[in-house]
Structure 1
Amino acid sequence: MIVTHEIPAIQTVDFTANTTYGDFRDDLVRDGYAVIKGAVSKEKAAHYVDRYHDYLEGFGLGYDRNDPSTVKEELLPVINEKGMLFHYSAIHEDFVWGMRAEPGVLKVFETIYDTEDLLVSFDAINVSFPNRKDITPNVPWPHQDQDPERPGFRCVQGLLNLLPNGDDDGGLLVLPGAHNISVEFHEQFKDEEQLYRWTNETYFFTDAGMKWLDTKGFKWVKVNADPGDLIIFLVEG
Structure 2
Amino acid sequence: MAPGALLQEHDTRTAPPVSKAAPAESNFTIPSPFPNLVSTDYPDFRAELAENGFAIIKGAIPRERAVGYQEKAYEWIKSFPGDLDMNDPETWVEKNLPMTNSIKAYAYYCVSHEKFFWDARQELGVLGAFAKLWGTDELLVSFDAMNLTFPNRKDVPRRPTWEHIDQSPMRRGVHCVQGLMALSPSGPEDGGLVVFPGSHKLNEEFFDTQTTRESWLPMKDVHVFSREQLDWFAARGVHPHKVCLEVGDMVMWDSRTIHYGSEPTEKSSQIRTALYATYVPASLASADQLELKRQAFESYSSTTHWPHQYIVARPNVVYLPDGSRDPRNRDGPLERPEMTDKLLKLAGVIPY
TM norm structure 2: 0.61
On the 8 A contact 2:34/2:175 being kept in 1, the answer is yes
Distance 1:149 1:63, change over 3 A: same
Equivalent-residue separation in structure 1 for 2:237 and 2:38 (angstroms) = 24
Please say if 1:85 is aligned against 2:109. no
On the 8 A contact 1:81/1:137 being kept in 2, the answer is no
Distance 1:127 1:83, change over 3 A: farther
Structure 1 residue 193: Cα displacement: 8.6
Equivalent-residue separation in structure 1 for 2:215 and 2:158 (angstroms) = 23
Q: Look up the match of 2:240.
A: 220
Please say if 1:147 is aligned against 2:168. yes
Q: Deviations over 1:64-99 (max 9, x none)?
A: 224332211101111368541121121111111111
On the 8 A contact 1:151/1:236 being kept in 2, the answer is no
Equivalent-residue separation in structure 2 for 1:214 and 1:65 (angstroms) = 39
Structure 1 residue 199: Cα displacement: 6.0
Letter in 1 for 2:256: E
Please say if 1:167 is aligned against 2:191. no
Distance 1:12 1:112, change over 3 A: farther
On the 8 A contact 1:63/1:75 being kept in 2, the answer is yes
- Secondary structure, counterpart of 1:209 in structure 2: helix
Worse-matched range after superposition: 60-69 or 157-166? 60-69
Equivalent-residue separation in structure 2 for 1:176 and 1:60 (angstroms) = 42
Q: Look up the match of 2:37.
A: 13
Distance 1:100 1:216, change over 3 A: same
- Secondary structure, counterpart of 2:143 in structure 1: coil
On the 8 A contact 1:81/1:138 being kept in 2, the answer is no
On the 8 A contact 1:12/1:114 being kept in 2, the answer is no
Q: Look up the match of 2:222.
A: 202
- Secondary structure, counterpart of 1:200 in structure 2: coil
Q: Look up the match of 2:249.
A: 229
Ranges in structure 1 where 5+ consecutive residues have no aligned partner? none
Letter in 1 for 2:225: F
On the 8 A contact 2:38/2:46 being kept in 1, the answer is no
Equivalent-residue separation in structure 2 for 1:140 and 1:194 (angstroms) = 22
Q: Look up the match of 2:300.
A: none
Distance 1:81 1:66, change over 3 A: farther
- Secondary structure, counterpart of 1:119 in structure 2: strand
Worse-matched range after superposition: 218-227 or 135-144? 135-144
Question: Among residues 111, 118, 125, which one is paired with 1:104 in the alignment?
Answer: 125
Equivalent-residue separation in structure 1 for 2:55 and 2:252 (angstroms) = 5
Structure 1 residue 28: Cα displacement: 0.9
The sequence identity of aligned pairs, in percent, is 37
Distance 1:12 1:98, change over 3 A: farther
Structure 1 residue 164: Cα displacement: 1.2
Structure 1 residue 133: Cα displacement: 1.8
Ranges in structure 2 where 5+ consecutive residues have no aligned partner? 1-20, 24-29, 258-352
Structure 1 residue 191: Cα displacement: 2.2
Q: Look up the match of 1:94.
A: 115
Equivalent-residue separation in structure 2 for 1:88 and 1:14 (angstroms) = 36
Structure 1 residue 227: Cα displacement: 0.2
Letter in 2 for 1:131: N
Count how many residue pairs are aligned between Structure 1 and Structure 2: 230
Distance 1:192 1:212, change over 3 A: farther
- Secondary structure, counterpart of 1:52 in structure 2: helix
Question: Among residues 109, 121, 125, which one is paired with 2:142 in the alignment?
Answer: 121
On the 8 A contact 2:89/2:153 being kept in 1, the answer is no
Letter in 1 for 2:190: D
TM norm structure 1: 0.89
Structure 1 residue 135: Cα displacement: 1.9
Structure 1 residue 122: Cα displacement: 3.3
Letter in 2 for 1:212: W
Q: Look up the match of 1:64.
A: 85
Q: How does 1:47-62 map to 2 (within 5 A)?
A: 47-62=68-83
Q: Look up the match of 1:28.
A: 49
- State the structure with bigger RCO (CA 8 A, min sep 6), 1 or 2: 1
Letter in 1 for 2:152: N
On the 8 A contact 2:54/2:253 being kept in 1, the answer is yes
Distance 1:199 1:137, change over 3 A: farther
